Amino acid sequence: MRRALLAIVAALSGASLAVELSTYCTNRDPLEWLYPLLSLSFEQNVPTWYASALMLACGVALTLHARSAARAGQASARWWLLAVAFFYISMDEVVGVHEAASWWFDTDGWLYYGWVIPAAVIVLLFGLYQLALLRALPRRPRRQFIVAGILYVGGALVMELPLGRWTAEHGSDNLGYALIDLVEESLELLGASLFLWALVEHLERVRGSVRVRLGATRTSSSPATAR
């Protein structure tokens, strides 16, 4: 699964790079019709819909984790909150609510995209709240979640700062903007892909251990039943 997810990220990023270079280095001729379809800088295209589906899959996996935790009598609120967050991100990938929020802030330069200000506060508070969940995880999924989170937030939030600076000084219709945005979107896809893989792997481990415990319980109770 991990290889398949990473291969898709590489394919989407490579295709986007190809159409960007073709568009800005060859007078927009050879692959012009593919540009809006494959560019990571565009909305409502192949990368956007894939990103939305990827976030939706993460939300579903998180929902399964929440249900498993609840059935085991463990705290599930943080899993549910993560699931809701990813369902929202899936919707936002298509609708672009966060981009519209930039109009609320009269900022420039590194903060050209003003939505990063409230987003940074939300991410910080959300991360602090989820620390308890991370601490409760085994070492392997904990590390996987942290790496995936760093990659995703690094793309979605941190890379928005140099992109904003470049846009403020040079605009958005140029190769420089396209390449910075390509890095940003690729990091988001990579982080979300690794997160989905980690979620599925951990879910298989958790559900497997539950089946083992249930099986052991039935086995131990069967002699009593026979008597």
Task: Dump pLDDT digits (tens) for 129-159.
Answer: 999 999 999 999 999 999 999 999 999 999 9
Contact 187, 159 (CB under 8 A): yes
56 Cβ contact partners less than 8 Å away, ≥ 6 residues apart: 86, 87, 90
Cα 166 to its chain centre, rounded Å, is 24
d(CA 146, CA 190): 13
d(CA 113, CA 98): 10
Dihedral angle at the C-alpha atoms of 125, 127, 129, 134, nearest 10 degrees?
Answer: -170
Report the 10 Å Cβ neighbour count for 44.
11
pLDDT above 70 covers a percentage of the chain that reads: 86
Give the global pTM.
Answer: 0.87
**In a 3-state reduction of DSSP, which class is residue 159?**
coil
pLDDT value of position 212: 37
Give the domain ranges of the chain.
2-209
pLDDT value of position 102: 65
d(CA 17, CA 12): 9
Dihedral angle at the C-alpha atoms of 102, 9, 169, 23, nearest 10 degrees?
Answer: -120
Task: Dump pLDDT digits (tens) for 55-114.
Answer: 999 999 999 999 999 998 899 999 999 999 999 999 999 887 776 666 677 788 999 998
Task: Dump pLDDT digits (tens) for 177-222.
Answer: 999 999 999 999 999 999 999 999 999 988 775 443 434 444 444 4
pLDDT above 90 covers a percentage of the chain that reads: 71
pLDDT value of position 28: 61
Contact 57, 196 (CB under 8 A): yes
